Amino acid sequence: MKQRVLIVNKFYYRRGGDCVCTINLDRLLTAEGHNVAVFAMNYPDNLPSAWSRYWPGEVDFSGGAGAKLKAVGRTLGLGDIRTRFAAILRDFRPDIVHLNNIHSYLSPVVASMAAARGIPVVWTLHDYKLLCPAYSCLRDGKVCELCFADKRQVLSTRCMKGSLAASAVAWLEALRWSRDRLSAATSRFICPSGFMMKKMEQGGFPAEKLTTLCNFIAPEMTAGMERRAASGHSDTREPYMCYVGRLSQEKGVATLLAAAAELPYELRIAGDGPLADELKARYAHCPNIHFLGHLQPDAIEELLASARLSVMPSECYENNPLGVIESLCSGTPVVGAEIGGIPELISPSTGITFASGSKDALKEAIRQARTTGYDYNAIARESLKRFSAATHYSHLIDIYNSL
């Protein structure tokens, strides 16, 4: 039976991995014949949607006092979020509400409202917000789990943007939307990695409501990857390695660049972020390091498909990074940090892992990967099947039908 599915995410454009997964989910369910509606915050960059008339107004945490007050109200489920969500529930009449990234710019109140009407709620977790009020499980650049047991720790550490005010808002949000309240409202939490599921169990969420389901590659991306794999193009590789992602401290890109500066291999960096200017200046003298800036999806696909290997040097609890998945589906082996869900995606035939944050371990892993005879076509074939939309859909429907 084809369900009526209401997908909820705070933005509806390709802003980050959570948004990409949300858009992919919308297109997948629609292609499979389900009736799909979308609920998001109104935002200028959003994709067009027939459902945008239901979306609540934009909130801005960086605006003036009035804007900040409105934004704080949104996190607590106040304002137009209730009336707008009630309207789409009434008019669309979903069989399932599928939440994605909803904190701050929307609100967990949508889970409570759906559950109160007897509608099953599925929640795909793209970050650690339910465990860490600051999302990232990082404090002063290091992994931190203090708030797993006591959310008040966010106040003493001020780890939400280094601000007492922002940390207080994060604590109030966690207090209002407690573990017990969210567990009661949610039928099933989808954890894209086994690592995240273990952390959710560690944080006291009921094991019977947790399941693991990996992210998938959008069909429009797999078409080109499949053609290259079938033609044997995947065996043709240029000598460079690449990094695709945000240029920020937690992504480990500073460690990667420090390692690359001491190696004779070309490194191409695709992405932007707060460290971009600093890193470009620091490594301007290195002829083997090239900063490509922000690239469109087709350019990223070509970059990955021609690389000898890609590197995921994260120093935070990555969940189920699309960067690794896209690389493997391109047939490109991955040198990945042993942290979060990254090791679950990599096997000896598809790459190598190293101790996160260690420049020397990363250098050795890159050297080893460079001398390993990987079967690029086999990596692409197996990964395209493992991370396909069809594989994801089969497991997702089992979850829907079990509710």
* Pairwise pLDDT comparison (290 vs 236), residue with the higher score: 290
Range of the domain at 279: 219-386
User: The CATH number of the domain where 280 resides is what?
Assistant: 3.40.50.2000
Residue 232 has pLDDT above 60, yes or no: no
Same domain for 280 and 195: no
Q: What would the pLDDT profile of 221-231 be if each residue is shown by its tens digit?
A: 676 666 666 66
Same domain for 277 and 162: no
Rounded mean pLDDT, 258-275: 96
Same domain for 285 and 153: no
The dihedrals phi and psi of 97, each to the nearest 5 degrees, come to: -105, 120
Rounded mean pLDDT, 373-378: 92
Same domain for 68 and 20: yes
Same domain for 124 and 10: yes
Strands 35-39 and 4-8: parallel
Tell me how far apart the alpha carbons of residues 315 and 138 are, in angstroms, rounded to a whole number. 9
Question: pTM of this prediction?
Answer: 0.92
**Residue keyed to tokens 């919308």:** 26
User: In 3-state terms, what secondary structure has residue 240?
Assistant: coil
H/E run at residue 322: helix 322-329
Same domain for 278 and 195: no
Chain centroid, CA 324 distance in Å = 11
The pLDDT value recorded for residue 229 is 61
Tell me how far apart the alpha carbons of residues 178 and 27 are, in angstroms, rounded to a whole number. 32
The pLDDT value recorded for residue 244 is 95
Q: How many helices (H) and strands (E) does the chain have?
A: 17, 14
Number of domains in the chain: 2
The pLDDT value recorded for residue 230 is 64
For residue 142, give the nearest of 318, 339, 315 by alpha carbon. Answer: 315
Rounded mean pLDDT, 296-314: 92
**Residue keyed to tokens 């707060």:** 274
Same domain for 254 and 196: no
Tell me how far apart the alpha carbons of residues 268 and 274 are, in angstroms, rounded to a whole number. 18
Same domain for 116 and 204: yes
Same domain for 111 and 87: yes
